[in-house]
Structure 1
């Protein structure tokens, strides 16, 4: 083939590759925004309580509304992507997220806040499933693992932005202006996605929502599958509650600093999470023969790190110590997800792995959503009962309140120990079949 002919062949291939990366980038940005939305309450909680004259219960409602919307859409997410294609689902997701974010910024009361966050969450719940399918469609098998990992990290980038940068922006411009800006960024990304994403034909699938629900119900007749759901739900609810709802307010209270300054430990957490996902993921392959033991050990380690954040300990050892603890928690959290995903694949097999993912994420959303009001009321009650923490502000959360938070998180971690024990026999049986 002549040089001119080779150039004619390579040029279209290069353009296709460039478009694939550009399309991936638009959906990855949408996932980063979704992750930012999920963990943003911690950066706006103090301003939010002031503007709506509410307390920890109001912040808990803010967090809970997102978890319920996210949970509502988890089971049909995969089916929607398979039936209607990545482009249609992603565009609808971006519209819901952007409009919901704008409605949240303009909400005049707590009921409107709840509704707006519910809309945002329903849109965000579709993004990562669509992103993984796009990676599978657009990149070869030998690039799938790398691009999937980078896709997960794109979410953590949004989590990083939701810490110190968002807290500083809220201090300077107010939380309403910040979420209007986020809505505008989402709309601009929507316009790029409409151009970059290819329209894919609707596949001929016999799958129905009823069939997915029936498969999910059948899967829960096995104790091992319950154990897997318990393990992931415990991990997700504990980590998200600490890193996405109460982390910055707790650090700000303990050291009497601004939310922007208090975002540094949570920034370290998000960086640790990304590093854990990238560099500790190979541990899941090495631990394939003992996944249950590995999950129990990592859960116990997470509990120890959380316990070491108790207010008296944090007061005594200082801000740098707390930052290191959050960074270590991030590494542990990032390393947990690959272990759980390996369990999902072993327990459900490749044919039902979508059902397994739906069951796990639904259980995690329900656990996280239901626990938020309980945590909020418990923190407020503990602060008021202590007599010294609340001071002149009955809605304030003090050392006793954050001590109650740590105690509840430790209690919520216990399913992460019981779950692997329920999985043990089936995991051993699967391993013996290999």
Structure 2
């Protein structure tokens, strides 16, 4: 396209990209409501069931840099289509699987297909929207994309109870097929062309691109922002929030569920607000992140030092403040965007996206190890004191992350032109 795109065309391309990402999140989360059914179908233990989720997340994190390189080489449209088709194949395989190894392979492919979507949509946002709108639309993408997780809860629960395992997961696969057709018809890599290709990359060229991205202090600053802000909320929502609130803080299951749901609400509200703020004040992005991290640390400190069980209002403050960490992690992508040329944007985003998931997995494992150390041999006997020790592992990650943010913030500000940044020239 040589002419400037209409607003309708811009939002249509983004809308299809967003829906594709939402469906990827739906596929990622579709096992959350099927744990008991999966245990019965594959005759597996709780630890084997947990392997599905952990392997899927490990694959997702490990694929971020390769996916970034693929998007820089082949464009968002092609990689997005490949990811969507792979998710269809993976969910179909999961629907038909009757053995644990086959099911494990299918969930691994879900992780790969999932990894192929988000960076593609970020690249589309940077190509189609004016620079000043990119932070807001990026936040909207991350925030609204999580509706896929909510969509996986009620519809999949209903489908599993009404239709059974195979029809329910085949229906889920059908969603991906519909989005693949929509992406094929609607999505263009940029207003200037349907398919944009980067230069051919040898292994040495790919390595040089990654080194160039990582060498810019802005990319490193974005990496450590993502690392430091995301893990607390992710660990709570992924695995440890419910047991911490019930066994560590004496809340009822109903109260624990409401508190964790409240975290989803604050993510959806705070994301667009942060997007507007960083669009208007890009020079102060690191200050916003440091302030949010300080608030998260303060909220956790009050809860962990509270004599006995923390009151419900204190726990409400904790989940509200920790929940903001999810949207705050998206600020790291904006640092990658304004610190790298467009031909390296996807690979730089992949570097950043790896950080938070790595920190989250480290924390999830560390909490489990510390709980087992404090209550050896009996997972039903986790005590409030054991949870205080376990949740204190976060301070190590916060300390490391805050130190690195402060370090690279100074380096990034030394090489970034503030006037150009605030004028929207850097994109």
TM class, shorter-length: 0.7 to 0.9
Give the Cα separation in 2 of the matches to 1:105 and 1:376: 31
CA contact (8 A) 1:276 1:332 kept: no
Tell me which of 407, 417, 421 is aligned to 2:406.
421
Per the alignment, residue 115 of structure 1 pairs with 105
Give the Cα separation in 2 of the matches to 1:41 and 1:403: 29
Aligned-pair CA distance for 1:279: 0.9
Per the alignment, residue 253 of structure 2 pairs with 257
Give runs of aligned pairs for residues 306-385 of structure 1, distance below 5 A.
Answer: 306-307=300-301, 315-318=309-312, 322-338=315-331, 340-345=332-337, 348=340, 352-369=344-361, 372-384=364-376
Per the alignment, residue 7 of structure 1 pairs with none
Change (3 A) 1:208 1:305: farther
| Segment of structure 1 superposing worse, 233-242 or 304-313 | 304-313
Aligned-pair CA distance for 1:300: 2.4
Tell me which of 257, 271, 277 is aligned to 2:271.
277
Change (3 A) 1:50 1:165: same
Q: Deviations over 1:72-97 (max 9, x none)?
A: 33223244334434433222211222
CA contact (8 A) 1:90 1:127 kept: yes
Give runs of aligned pairs for residues 165-314 of structure 1, distance below 5 A.
Answer: 165=154, 169=158, 176=165, 179-197=169-187, 201-208=194-201, 210=203, 211-220=205-214, 226=220, 228-251=222-245, 254-257=250-253, 262-284=256-278, 288-289=282-283, 291-307=285-301
Aligned-pair CA distance for 1:62: 2.9
Change (3 A) 1:413 1:265: same
Tell me which of 54, 73, 79 is aligned to 1:89.
79
CA contact (8 A) 2:140 2:271 kept: no
Tell me which of 350, 369, 392 is aligned to 1:407.
392
CA contact (8 A) 1:97 1:183 kept: yes
TM-score (norm 1): 0.74
Aligned-pair CA distance for 1:206: 1.9
Aligned-pair CA distance for 1:412: 2.8
Change (3 A) 1:47 1:419: farther
The answer to whether 1:35 aligns with 2:25 is yes
CA contact (8 A) 1:63 1:369 kept: no
TM-score (norm 2): 0.75
Per the alignment, residue 45 of structure 2 pairs with 54
Give the Cα separation in 2 of the matches to 1:295 and 1:81: 28
Aligned-pair CA distance for 1:220: 4.5
Q: Deviations over 1:48-79 (max 9, x none)?
A: 66775534x44653332122222333223244
| Segment of structure 1 superposing worse, 192-201 or 171-180 | 171-180
SS of residue in 2 equivalent to 1:281: helix
Q: Provide the alpha-carbon RMSD of the alignment.
A: 4.2
Q: Which runs of 5+ in 1 are unaligned?
A: 1-12, 392-396
Per the alignment, residue 73 of structure 1 pairs with 63
Change (3 A) 1:279 1:203: closer
Per the alignment, residue 117 of structure 2 pairs with 127
| Segment of structure 1 superposing worse, 266-275 or 95-104 | 95-104
Give the Cα separation in 1 of the matches to 2:178 and 2:98: 26
Q: Which runs of 5+ in 2 are unaligned?
A: 420-427
Per the alignment, residue 54 of structure 2 pairs with 64
Give the Cα separation in 1 of the matches to 2:65 and 2:327: 24
